[in-house]
Amino acid sequence: KFNQDGKLLLTLGKAGVAGPGQDTFDQPTEVAVAPNGDIFVADGHGRAPNANARIMKFDKNGKFIKTWGKKGTGIGEFDCPHTLAFDSRGRLFVGDRQNNRIQIFDQDGRFIAEWKQFGRPSGIFIDRNDVLYVADSESRDGQEGYGYNPGCRRGIRIGSAKDGSVKYFVPDPAPYPAAADSTSSEGVAADAAGNIYGAEFAMDVKKYVKR
């Protein structure tokens, strides 16, 4: 955690130390901060069978509060929890990427819903009107293997965080199928004018202009 001048204010975890403890992470992928200052960390990106796959919650001062989740495919389990976002009701959206779904929880880790209609989520952004933007950088519906997600293709899906409806789809501009596992946006954001920004695995940021 830094202030706006770049001064270090808070550190969570231990540099160079991976593990399943309350003060260690294993390739954390995302941080989200609740309105009251509580800090939520998606941990982790590792593919090993014993890698962390959990959400960790800390107070605004970095004191550990709780953790939930483990590697798996069931409700409340994760396989690469890759992105986090809050909606206007304070619900936590978790992009459970390897499981091709979003899981929604309250801030105490109680399961609310599972949505699979937004593809394979690498990035989630929810604006103040609860418009939901989901970056899917990996889906492919051809040969089974990494990224296999029948019926889905890479791109950015736009819909509602209120009811889960999908309204629009911005396709991956790269040729499909591409040789790489991931070519499209992994991070996503939108401005007040409705323009969308996709931060790509290939080190580009693309702006999509609302028409």
Q: What is the pTM of this model?
A: 0.93
Number of domains in the chain: 2
Q: Which residue, of 116, 141, 161, is where some domain finishes?
A: 116
In a domain, 82, yes or no: yes
Does the pLDDT value for residue 78 go beyond 90?
yes
Q: Are residues 79 and 53 in the same domain?
A: yes
Whether 128 maps to a domain, the answer reads yes
Per-residue pLDDT, averaged over 58-83, amounts to 97
Residue range 167-203, pLDDT digits in tens: 999 988 776 655 455 557 899 999 999 999 999 887 7
Residue 8 domain-assigned (yes or no): no
Residue 68 lies in domain: 13-116
Read off the tokens for 128.
């103040």
pLDDT, mean of residues 59-66: 98
In a domain, 2, yes or no: no
Sign of CA dihedral 100, 20, 41, 207: negative
- Residue 96 belongs to some domain of the structure: yes
Domain co-membership, 104 together with 150: no
Please write the tens of the pLDDT for every residue from 105-122. 999 999 999 999 999 999
- Residue 150: asked if its preceding bond is cis (omega within 30°), the reply is no
